[in-house]
Chain A
Amino acid sequence: MRELTYREALSEAMAEEMERDESVFLMGEEVGVYNGAYKVSRGFLDRFGPQRVVDTPISEAGFAGIGIGAAMVGLRPIIEFMTFNFAILALDQILNTAAKTYYMSGGQIPIPIVFRGPTGAALQLAAQHSQAVETQYTHSPGIKVVTPGTPADAKGLLKAAIRDDDPVVVLEGELLYNVKGEVPEGEHIVPLGVAEVKREGSDVSIITHGKMVHVALQAAARLAKDQISAEVLDLRSLRPLDVDAILTTVAKTNRVVYLEEGWPLAGVGAEIVNIIQEEAFDELDAPVLRVTQADVPMPYAKNLEQLAKPSAQRVVDACNRVLYR
């Protein structure tokens, strides 16, 4: 199969959906003339024109709301945030309007919109450009959240998100855009709510999502050198959540480490741990451990940043602990 970068996979997903459905359009900062801050929409302006590839002023709340309004009357906007750090300015629109209007209207007004862009830390961008925001969106009923970690999932999940009739937040990884991988051509859809085992194993399960899939795979490779067989389960979608897949891997290995980029308190992992203790208590041979970002704003200094981020070594250490080694 041909290889694409994560960036190209996202780009292909959007282009295919824009070709397929005239009501799909892209709006955001720098998406047109500049070809996208991360070049995901390279060439789109020429290909689709300014009506469907819309450069906005720096007004996150405003253009998020305009997108939501357009979706309320039947268009299918893709709103690109330069990064999700800036989408914090649009949280009112996403959480108060997009998440609630279908409900408040008694089911009259669905909102088929995609909010997408990178989340989490890159390299030395410091506190205001490094936040992992999964928790803020997964917390709200009315919103769906997906976190593609590979090029194939990027294409498949984005296409599914664009076709979904609800608001879907697509959290990409800033450091993933250049990652290469095999991506099926044409109609490749990854349905929301389906996790994937990215590496089979039998001794311990590393459950994770998004960019951290790669850290989990590195950790699993290191553990393999010590004859420990780690399974890596990539949730891919945080709401809907593939609880069956979680319970299946727990039943298989009886030991779990949850790895995520965000902070621990009320993080995604906190909920996963809760589900496991509630629904698979008897399967566990050890407490579930979490590996998260240090519970501090992201520091700039290279050495401090490394300390703050979850690393393969910390995942290995956590796996050893749940294995009582």
Chain B
Amino acid sequence: MAKSRTSLRSGLETADLPRPPKSLGGLSREALLDFLKEMLLSRRFEEAAEEAYAIGKIGGFCHLYIGQEAVGVGAIRAIRPDDYVITAYREHAQAINKGISPRAVMAELFGRSTGCSGGKGGSMHLFDASVNFMGGYAIVGGHVPLAAGFGWAIKYRGEDRVCLCFLGDAAVNQGSFHETLNMAAVWKLPVVYVVENNEYGMGTAYARVSTLPIFERACSYDIPSTAVDGQDVVAVHTAVREYAERARRGEGPSLIEARTYRYKGHSMSDPVHGVYRSKEEVEDRMSHADPIVLLRSRMEAVGLIDQATMDALDNEVRAVVADAVKFADASPVADPSQLYTHVYHSLDVHGRLFLDRMNRSAAKVSEGVGRGVGGGEARGGVGANRKDS
């Protein structure tokens, strides 16, 4: 029998779900302090990005992760460095969690040549293949099949890696999500999908456009799934670790719905509250379910942290973030010679690859130094294209 929207909504809030106990998961003090520090770093980084945006240092669309830190940290800390991570456009913190330096991420937001994507990606397209952070993507749901493709390659080569794919609650209504979950299940691909249910896709509440809770939708594909408290870093960590190990054993994909909340507007142009959610709602969430406060208070209760340690952690990450901003600001802007590089990797000996006059008149595009695989560099100009890979 179909559930009404109201019952879905209340269902989402009160569902009797398999939630791990609010514990410290048997983790060491060291591990917990690391979680705490990483969440603090994520938050301070985003606060700095917000400031830099306000004064025009960062342009375009910029989506902050504040409020959702436990999902990125808990999940990424549960996998290995050689495992892949792929995600959407709200990914600054996840990029750092996976191992890209805050300097390279901030420089990318600033559009500088020292950025992790060489200034060509920006806030929504952070990449560092060397740490297996396979990118942020801005077509909602578009990256979901790519994760399965990594899983396919892992299986093809008989490796024991896994892929962790983050996506938003709005992405589960895309065809690409359903097509991919089906194939991932049929082929038992080692992918853990983590849906960050922050309750809204821009201004549209999930419950207004869906009839089933997110984790239940995986049932259509016979994929094991669970919902966890996404504000509880330990709960996220426990769930991802379990599913990642399952994938590593060759038992296939899984899906975790992490229930979380975004404190800021959808992007920099969207106010924190207004037409689609009330001030009271936001304040209530911020005061009751802050991931950093939750972990800290639980650690405090058992004497694992005191105010001095907390202050020291915060000072440490603030210094890292300040350094990242300073680095980004001092970095050179992207070199004009980079406009035509990295469009193609195999630069053909024959024929014209670029059809615009600008490239042809700027024929002597200098041979800059490329990042990453092969460092293929385009050399523009009539018949001047050259294969260098």
Interface residues of A (CB under 8 A from B): 25, 51, 56-57, 59, 61-75, 92-93, 96-97, 101-110, 112, 141-142, 144, 164-166, 191-194, 237, 239-244, 271, 275
- Name the contact of B119 in the complex, choosing from A106, A164, A237 (C-beta under 8 A): A106
Q: Is A109's CB under 8 angstroms from B176's CB? A: no
Q: Is B149's CB under 8 angstroms from A193's CB? A: no
Measured in the bound complex, the distance between the Cα atoms of B128 and A57 in whole Å is 32
Q: A107-B373, A240-B353 are in contact. Are A166 and B145 (CB under 8 A)?
A: no
- Name the contact of A164 in the complex, choosing from B135, B146, B346, B382 (C-beta under 8 A): B346
CB of B374 closer than 8 Å to a CB of A: yes
Q: A59-B183, A72-B134 are in contact. Are A108 and B344 (CB under 8 A)?
A: no
Q: Is A62's CB under 8 angstroms from B179's CB? A: yes
Q: Is B121's CB under 8 angstroms from A69's CB? A: no
Of the four ranges (under 10, 10 to 19, 20 to 34, 35 or more), the interface on chain B belongs to 35 or more
CB of B74 closer than 8 Å to a CB of A: no
Q: Looking at the complex, which of B150-158, B241-249, B279-287 is the stretch in contact with chain A?
A: B150-158
CB of B219 closer than 8 Å to a CB of A: no
- Name the contact of B152 in the complex, choosing from A61, A66, A103 (C-beta under 8 A): A66
CB of B332 closer than 8 Å to a CB of A: no
Q: A93-B142, A103-B343 are in contact. Are A243 and B153 (CB under 8 A)?
A: no
Q: Is A65's CB under 8 angstroms from B129's CB? A: no
Measured in the bound complex, the distance between the Cα atoms of B118 and A195 in whole Å is 35
CB of B84 closer than 8 Å to a CB of A: yes
Q: How many Å from the CB of B59 to the closest CB on chain A? A: 16
Cβ contacts under 8 Å, A110 to chain B: 345, 373-374, 376, 389
Measured in the bound complex, the distance between the Cα atoms of B142 and A243 in whole Å is 35
Q: Is B344's CB under 8 angstroms from A142's CB? A: yes
Q: How many Å from the CB of B353 to the closest CB on chain A? A: 5
- Name the contact of B117 in the complex, choosing from A65, A70, A104, A112 (C-beta under 8 A): A104
Measured in the bound complex, the distance between the Cα atoms of B127 and A103 in whole Å is 11
CB of B355 closer than 8 Å to a CB of A: yes
Measured in the bound complex, the distance between the Cα atoms of B115 and A107 in whole Å is 12
Measured in the bound complex, the distance between the Cα atoms of B350 and A241 in whole Å is 8
- Name the contact of B350 in the complex, choosing from A25, A59, A65, A191 (C-beta under 8 A): A191
Chain B contact residues: helix, strand, loop or mixed: loop
CB of B341 closer than 8 Å to a CB of A: yes
Q: Is A70's CB under 8 angstroms from B149's CB? A: yes
4 closest residue pairs by CB, A with B: A69-B149, A193-B351, A65-B145, A106-B118
Q: Is B135's CB under 8 angstroms from A105's CB? A: yes
CB of B57 closer than 8 Å to a CB of A: no
Cβ contacts under 8 Å, B318 to chain A: none
Beyond A59-B180, A144-B353, A243-B382, 5 additional contacts (C-beta under 8 Å) are: A68-B146, A69-B149, A74-B153, A106-B120, A193-B348
Cβ contacts under 8 Å, B116 to chain A: 106
Measured in the bound complex, the distance between the Cα atoms of B342 and A59 in whole Å is 30
Q: How many Å from the CB of B373 to the closest CB on chain A? A: 6
Which residues of B340-381 have CB atoms within 8 Å of chain A's CB atoms?
341-346, 348-355, 370-377
Q: Is B149's CB under 8 angstroms from A67's CB? A: yes
Q: A62-B180, A69-B153, A193-B350 are in contact. Are A107 and B145 (CB under 8 A)?
A: no
Measured in the bound complex, the distance between the Cα atoms of B146 and A67 in whole Å is 8
Cβ contacts under 8 Å, B180 to chain A: 59, 62, 65-66
Cβ contacts under 8 Å, A72 to chain B: 134, 146, 149-150
Q: Is B351's CB under 8 angstroms from A97's CB? A: no
Q: Is A241's CB under 8 angstroms from B145's CB? A: no
- Name the contact of A109 in the complex, choosing from B129, B341, B343, B385 (C-beta under 8 A): B129
Measured in the bound complex, the distance between the Cα atoms of B352 and A112 in whole Å is 19
Which residues of B141-186 have CB atoms within 8 Å of chain A's CB atoms?
142-153, 156, 175-176, 179-180, 182-183, 186
Q: How many Å from the CB of A115 to the closest CB on chain B? A: 14
CB of B137 closer than 8 Å to a CB of A: yes
Cβ contacts under 8 Å, B142 to chain A: 65, 92-93, 96-97
Q: A92-B139, A107-B372 are in contact. Are A62 and B145 (CB under 8 A)?
A: yes
